């Protein structure tokens, strides 16, 4: 009898050990080869991933777009990160808090400072909101680039921009001028008139854009204009302050000859619409999401142990009955 008990004990211990080994040896998803994320590409993707990748826009509007009615853009623009989250990355808390660009959609700064690149990639794959899924259009490398850009390269310029006049508050204009003459004038002209851009349905020169949308100016100065050969400040070590210096120079000296446009100012006709968060937008659903993530992570291990324990109990029971 004693030896038999010993035998059961051994069988039990062996089974548990084998189970543990099996669980430990479960194939771990191989980490992707450590590859530097391309932040400048991430910035370009944020601006216009279709132009950056050279692909056609998906048909129709981005599904989330139709949760709002204030912003009347449609088609390709509705698929751009910037249309919903803003050139200042602050969505309904920033420059898009009012006016025709208002959507009510949230910003991505500073929440992206708090999240990991993996969590941000998850958000872009629709893990928080199934309609916020870009994985059919952007591959993992592209999603990692844009997530790394959000985490490491976005800054809060609104501390440096007067929200009434839209002028840069602190900057070195002389330094801005030397940077402009060195790297921008060759294409845009010393007076900023050589290339014009579409802005609010009009064709405007660089000076007018600097006055009216300083955030767009800063983003482009740092990360270029996707699909063109424009220089990318980020790639040659230009700092955030360098960008603001160039902006200040452009605001103060480049001619703003866009007669049809109103004076630079944030459009103040605030549209009162509720915040448009995703599923995990309140405390209760937040907890539910957290629990489901935990269960998903633990589930497999618990299952293996349960099956193992069941088998052992069955074995012991059968042997004892004999
Ligand atoms: C190699 C030529 C080239 C250089 C150098 C260059 N740009 Fe550009 N830039 C372009 C082109 C091309 C466009 C896109 C025009 C268009 O949208 O059709 C552009 C667009 C822009 C825009 C975006 C306008 C919009 O549509 O929002 C800004 C702002 C801008 N440039 C600022 C600068 C600044 C500041 C510098 C210097 C740091 C600079 N550029 C240097 C070629 C250049
Ligand atoms: C049509 C509008 C729209 C577009 C386009 C869009 N988003 Fe979003 N985004 C949202 C909304 C709404 C939320 C809020 C939660 C949700 O629904 O997922 C969100 C949430 C986020 C969050 C999480 C913010 C937080 O506070 O946790 C990040 C990060 C993000 N988006 C990045 C991007 C990037 C990068 C792109 C471009 C590839 C993009 N979004 C394109 C509407 C949009």
d(CA 88, CA 244): 13
Q: How far apart are the first and last CA of the chain?
A: 13
Cα of 182 to ligand 1 centre, how many Å?
A: 14
d(CA 60, CA 77): 10
Across residues 130-144, what is the average pLDDT?
Answer: 98
pLDDT (average), residues 87-111: 94
CA separation for the pair 80, 233 (Å, rounded): 21
pLDDT value of residue 16: 59
Please return the burial class of 97, using the count of CB atoms within 10 Å of its CB with bins 0-12, 13-18 and 19+. Answer: buried
Mean pLDDT confidence for 20-39: 62
Domains of the chain in start order, with CATH, are 38-158+274-302 (no CATH), 164-265 (1.10.760.10)
d(CA 103, CA 97): 8
- Residue 125 makes CB contacts below 8 A (sequence gap 6+) with 133, 134, 135, 143
Over pLDDT 90: what percentage of the chain? 64
Q: Which of 198, 215, 196 is CA-nearest to residue 207? A: 196
Q: How far apart are CA 4 and CA 216, in angstroms?
A: 79
Instruction: Report pLDDT for 58.
Output: 97
Residue nearest to atom 20 of ligand 1 (CA): 225
Residues with CB under 6 A from ligand 2: 46, 49, 62, 64-65, 78-79, 81, 83-85, 105-106, 108, 111-112, 120, 123-124, 128-129, 132, 134, 146, 150, 276-278
Residues with Cβ within 8 Å of residue 255, at least 6 apart in sequence: 191, 192, 193, 205, 207
Please check the confidence at residue 272 and state whether its pLDDT lies above 70: no
In this prediction the pTM is 0.79
What does the alpha-carbon distance between residue 222 and residue 163 come to, in Å, rounded to a whole number? 21
Task: Say what the pLDDT of residue 310 is.
Answer: 83
**pLDDT value for 181:** 97
Neighbouring CB atoms inside 10 A of 61's CB total: 16
How much is the pLDDT for 52? Answer: 97
Model pLDDT for residues 36-67, shown as the tens digit of each residue: 899 999 999 999 999 999 999 999 999 999 99
């Amino acid at each position: 009898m004693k030896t038999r008990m010993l035998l059961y004990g051994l069988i039990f211990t062996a089974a548990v050990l084998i189970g543990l080994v099996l669980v430990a040896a479960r194939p771990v998803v191989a980490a992707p080869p450590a590859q530097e994320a391309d932040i400048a590409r991430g910035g370009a993707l944020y601006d216009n991933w279709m132009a950056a990748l050279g692909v056609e826009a998906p048909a129709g509007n981005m599904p989330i777009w139709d949760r709002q009615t204030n912003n009347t853009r449609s088609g390709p623009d509705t698929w751009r990160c910037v249309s919903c989250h803003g050139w200042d990355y602050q969505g309904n808390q920033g420059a898009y808090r009012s006016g025709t660009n208002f959507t009510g959609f949230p910003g991505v700064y500073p929440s992206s400072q708090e999240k990991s690149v993996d969590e941000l990639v998850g958000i872009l794959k629709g893990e928080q909101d199934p309609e916020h899924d870009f994985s059919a259009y952007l591959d993992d490398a592209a999603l990692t680039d844009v997530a790394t850009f959000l985490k490491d390269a976005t800054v809060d310029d609104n501390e440096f921009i007067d929200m009434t006049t839209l002028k840069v508050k602190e900057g070195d204009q002389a330094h801005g001028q030397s940077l402009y003459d060195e790297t921008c004038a060759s294409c845009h002209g010393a007076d900023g008139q050589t290339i014009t851009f579409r802005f609010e349905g009009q064709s405007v020169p660089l000076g007018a854009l600097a006055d009216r949308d300083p955030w767009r100016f800063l983003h482009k100065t740092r990360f270029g204009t996707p699909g063109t050969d424009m220089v990318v400040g980020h790639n040659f070590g230009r700092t955030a302050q360098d960008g603001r210096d160039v902006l200040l120079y452009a605001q103060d000296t480049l001619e703003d000859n866009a007669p049809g446009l109103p004076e630079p100012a944030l459009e103040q006709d605030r549209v009162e619409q509720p915040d448009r968060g995703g599923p995990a937008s309140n405390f209760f659903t937040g907890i539910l999401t957290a629990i489901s993530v935990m269960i998903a992570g633990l589930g497999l291990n618990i299952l293996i142990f349960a099956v193992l324990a069941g088998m052992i109990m069955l074995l012991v029971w059968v042997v004892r009955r004999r």
